[in-house]
């Protein structure tokens, strides 16, 4: 069974590994230690949430009609783009205004994990649970 969230998760992990290697091998001598730490935070969160997307894809095999999981996947992907993407851009371009975007990605991550929690908690959303 093909899965968009599995594809997005695997692609995000692939890019995360590449970004991590680029940061470790190419950026150390180019950007400040503080900006390198910002960059590495982006890599870490991208990898965690790439695995989260893969988890959502696997869980959706048991509940393919779950709206909670559907939205959790899209929010997690948006979080990767907004959170990690803004941190990469901030570190590489040193434009501090990009830091204003990062919290929106963090909110997407939080909302995605909350939706997964709601999905996993019995009797919270019985209409969504009926799809399991």
Chain segment 78-110, per-residue pLDDT in tens: 999 999 999 999 999 989 899 999 999 999 999
Closest C-alpha among 62, 59, 48 to residue 115: 59
Q: Are 36 and 94 in contact (CB under 8 A)?
A: no
For the chain, helix (H) and strand (E) counts, in that order, are: 6, 0
Quote the number of domains for the chain: 1
Q: What pLDDT was estimated at residue 132?
A: 46
Q: What is the pLDDT of residues 51-83, one digit of tens each?
A: 999 999 999 999 999 999 999 999 999 999 999
Is it the case that residue 2 has pLDDT exceeding 90?
no
Instruction: Please write down the long-range contacts of 36-39, taking CB distance under 8 Å and 24 or more positions apart.
Output: 36/91, 38/87, 38/90, 38/91, 39/87, 39/88, 39/91, 39/92
Instruction: Note down the domain range covering 46.
Output: 4-129
With CA atoms as reference, report the closest residue to 108 among 82, 70, 86, 129: 82
Question: How confident is the prediction for the chain on average, in pLDDT?
Answer: 93
Q: Say how far apart CA 89 and CA 105 lie, in whole Å.
A: 14
pLDDT of residue 123: 78
Alpha-carbon torsion 105, 74, 111, 120, what sign? negative
Q: What percent helix, strand, coil does the chain show, rounded to 5?
A: 80, 0, 20
pTM value is: 0.90
């Amino acid at each position: 069974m093909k899965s968009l969230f599995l594809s997005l998760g695997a692609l995000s992990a692939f890019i995360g590994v590449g970004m991590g290697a680029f940061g470790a091998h190419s950026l150390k001598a180019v950007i400040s230690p503080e900006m390198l730490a910002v960059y590495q935070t982006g890599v870490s969160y991208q990898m965690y949430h790439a695995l989260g997307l893969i988890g959502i894809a696997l869980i959706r095999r048991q509940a393919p009609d779950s709206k909670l999981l559907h939205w959790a996947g899209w929010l997690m992907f948006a979080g990767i783009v907004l959170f990690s993407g803004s941190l990469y851009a901030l570190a590489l371009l040193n434009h501090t205004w990009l830091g204003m975007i990062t919290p929106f990605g963090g909110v997407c991550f939080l909302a995605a994990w909350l939706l997964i929690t709601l999905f996993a908690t019995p009797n919270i959303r019985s209409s969504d649970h009926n799809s399991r």
